[in-house]
Amino acid sequence: TQRDTVCAFFRDEAGVLRETEIINMCQACIRSNVESYEQGKCKGTEVYCDQQFRTAFCTREYFPVCAHSRDANGAIVSKTAGNTCMACSDASVEYYTRGEC
């Protein structure tokens, strides 16, 4: 068996794409919710906030993400959001990456 860490991608109950590190590809493959994986540790993949992920109601669980939007000059502005739902509920946020900013 291969013992290398993989970054697995899955969708949560709200359909938001998430990533998690799993000990090896065999463990990733037996999980029914894993859509795909890549070799190595997760790198903070950019996940874009599609219209379907924007909602006015979010849970208060703390799984921080770094939400990225643009200021009036078009420069990227980053701020930590409590979770993916909170990031995407802000209409100015274009995408987020895993973890705090």
| Rounded-to-integer distance, Cα 26 and Cα 49, Å | 30
Position with higher pLDDT, 17 vs 70: 70
| Rounded-to-integer distance, Cα 91 and Cα 88, Å | 7
> Is the per-residue pLDDT at 78 higher than 80?
yes
> Is the per-residue pLDDT at 2 higher than 50?
no
Per DSSP, which regions of the chain are E strands? Answer: 6-11, 17-22, 34-39, 47-48, 65-70, 76-81, 93-98
Mean pLDDT of 3-31: 81
| Rounded-to-integer distance, Cα 62 and Cα 19, Å | 15
Q: Could you read off the pLDDT of 42-68 as tens digits, one per residue?
A: 776 778 887 666 777 888 888 888 999
